Structure 1
Amino acid sequence: MESVESETALLTTLYEMLGHLEASGANLERGNWTLAQAHAAHPTAEYWAVIEPALATRNLTAVRSPLDAYFTATRSQSVDSTTHLEAARQALRDAIAAIAGTGPESTRTQAAALAELAESIAAEFAEGVENDQIVNIEEYQDAWGFFQVLSAELPRVLDAAPTSGREAAAEARADLESLSRGPFDQFIDQLGTRVIDADSARERLAHLASAIRAAFGISKSTGPTPAVQVATIRQMLSDALNLYRSGLTDQAYERAANAYLQGFEALEPALLERGHRELVERLELDFKAVRDAIREGRSVEEIAQLIAKVNAGLDEVEEVLA
């Protein structure tokens, strides 16, 4: 039997994938094919390697086909893109429902996943918005898309909160409403646009996550120290290189993807809080370069050089977070 934390992490990832589709769809409605395609790529390019083993054990890997079909449609600017988008959305919703199941413990697990989603929104928002203005449109839209999923899923979950958690559930609803009327009131696709109540958004999202957990009596798990986290990331990258050297390309890609999604992403909020936006953005690109090189079948030497570049950036991370 897998742990609740494992189920929670899987659900959170699927919620984020659905959020990327929401952002993609909003761009699609505005005829912005470039950003529609960028967001459509994330579910498979960024997340798939991480969750495929867990989906395989549940016979849910068929969700990949509609995701690929939608990405292909956006890339070719197909007139059927909207149809493929809805099919991809539904495939993710079905997978979420299959994993979540039913019953009180299921609702509690969904609540834990939605609390983590709220924290993911805060992290993406912090990267996308600075001084009340959008400075990274894709990251802001990630936050917006994730929030659409949170808004759709959370009210039903809060309705099932136990009697002891009703006060906290009411606080969570108030936070959700405030955020809906504030920073996530409308979809934005222009850099430099001012965002309503941006200065309080991260605090409100943190309180929302805390209120969700309080409503269901969930304790937030404490993660490793930054030093331990960085050491884990370095080991994952080393593993990826060794796997690639052995000809195990898929496993190497999965390990490299985990180094970012399960490693560096957790450090981003602390780095942003300390004013190191450029370091975060640079390392995000460096991690992506490693993944892309593995996928494209570049030489072992080139991938080793790219990993060395990431490790140099991690040296800076350790200094900042020491």
Structure 2
Amino acid sequence: MFEKRKVWVGVGSALASSLVVASASADQPASVYPATAMVAPGPMMEGEGGEGEGEGAVSVNLAENDAQFLAQLGLIRGHLWVGMTLYEQGHIEMAKTHMKHPGDELYAGLVSAFEARGLPGFADELQALADAVNNDNSRAVVENAYSALKQAISVNEPVAEMTAGDVLKSISSMLITAADEYAIGINEGKVVNVHEYQDAYGFQQIALARLEAISAAEQQRGEAAIAETRRIIEGLTALWPTTTPEGTVEGDASRIYGAASRIELEANSI
């Protein structure tokens, strides 16, 4: 029920001065986005860990915090999105590495939150997709399993009842994790871990899709902030020129960290 995440230190004031100088454009050079100064990791909580999503020391009650709960669901969606994209592109073995199942820590960490919220979860659907891909079932079986899983995830998502500000905060949180993964995947322009690079891509794409799920009333209330958030996220797409890069990629995680902090500011402006 409790998620581990990094703490943002003075993000509003720290970034505000940078934005005044840098003119708040999503395609600014990476150097204008101070990455490491924006987060302060703490000690790992005992008995928890995993593959990188949600590292840090501050515990957040996922049974009560809708923004962080939605962010965690978004990370699962991101893994699955990039896995299915790779599958559709014919990179089957790569796709298998992104398919989650109920035993994975990312899902397991949500189980008590599902219970506290009175939600069904989606363990069976998650397992069905993992099995379909890993057992090399037909494309039709895999696609049907994915469609059923997406519907099952939607049943558990509170996004339609959330304020636009809280949805944007969940997006900011997702992008922090995307930046963490991208930093592992791309080191000084060199591809060193394609799996983490791909994860970051999935998180960015789901963050963008989240904007469409905001309720009509909240879309209207937060119209300007949502539009700016969309522009910021879309401005990151060039960081992933392909799903299966080799050699070098012209990208830096600091741009994603910067985008996350700017979206947090937009969330707070609503």
- Farther off after superposition, 14-23 or 62-71: 62-71
> Could you tell me which residue of structure 1 aligns to residue 24 of structure 2?
none
C-alpha separation in 1, matches of 2:76 and 2:176: 15
> Could you tell me which residue of structure 1 aligns to residue 132 of structure 2?
73
> Could you tell me which residue of structure 1 aligns to residue 118 of structure 2?
59
Q: Is the 8 A contact 1:121 1:143 kept in 2?
A: yes
1:82 alignment partner, one of 127, 130, 143: 143
1:129 alignment partner, one of 165, 169, 186: 186
C-alpha separation in 2, matches of 1:5 and 1:129: 35
Q: Report Cα offsets for 1:6-54 as digits up to 9, x if no partner.
A: 2222111100000000111012112222221211136641212211011
**What is the SS of the residue equivalent to 1:77?**
coil
C-alpha separation in 1, matches of 2:230 and 2:160: 23
> Could you tell me which residue of structure 2 aligns to residue 93 of structure 1?
154
2:205 alignment partner, one of 148, 171, 175: 148
1:195 and 2:252 aligned:
no
C-alpha separation in 2, matches of 1:203 and 1:174: 17
C-alpha separation in 1, matches of 2:173 and 2:101: 19
> Could you tell me which residue of structure 2 aligns to residue 213 of structure 1?
264
1:40 and 2:99 aligned:
yes
1:18 and 2:74 aligned:
no
C-alpha separation in 2, matches of 1:170 and 1:93: 23
- Number of residue pairs the alignment of both structures matches: 206
Matches within 5 A, 1:105-116: 105-116=162-173
> Which consecutive residues of structure 2, in runs of 5 or more, have no partner in the other structure?
1-60
TM-score (norm 2): 0.67
Q: Is the 8 A contact 1:19 1:146 kept in 2?
A: yes
C-alpha separation in 1, matches of 2:185 and 2:101: 17
Q: Is the 8 A contact 1:15 1:149 kept in 2?
A: yes
Structure 1 position 172, deviation (Å): 3.1
Question: Are the structure 2 counterparts of residues 55 and 66 from structure 1 closer, same or farther at C-alpha, using a change threshold of 3 Å?
Answer: same
C-alpha separation in 1, matches of 2:100 and 2:213: 29
> Which consecutive residues of structure 1, in runs of 5 or more, have no partner in the other structure?
219-322
TM-score (norm 1): 0.57
Q: Is the 8 A contact 1:20 1:43 kept in 2?
A: no
Structure number with greater CO (CA < 8 Å, separation at least 6) is 2
Question: Are the structure 2 counterparts of residues 46 and 61 from structure 1 closer, same or farther at C-alpha, using a change threshold of 3 Å?
Answer: same
**What is the SS of the residue equivalent to 1:31?**
coil
> Could you tell me which residue of structure 2 aligns to residue 138 of structure 1?
195
C-alpha separation in 2, matches of 1:48 and 1:87: 17
Q: Is the 8 A contact 2:160 2:213 kept in 1?
A: no
C-alpha separation in 1, matches of 2:88 and 2:127: 20
Aligned CA-pair RMSD? 2.8
C-alpha separation in 2, matches of 1:173 and 1:48: 27
Question: Are the structure 2 counterparts of residues 62 and 4 from structure 1 closer, same or farther at C-alpha, using a change threshold of 3 Å?
Answer: closer
Q: Is the 8 A contact 1:70 1:85 kept in 2?
A: yes
Question: Are the structure 2 counterparts of residues 173 and 190 from structure 1 closer, same or farther at C-alpha, using a change threshold of 3 Å?
Answer: closer
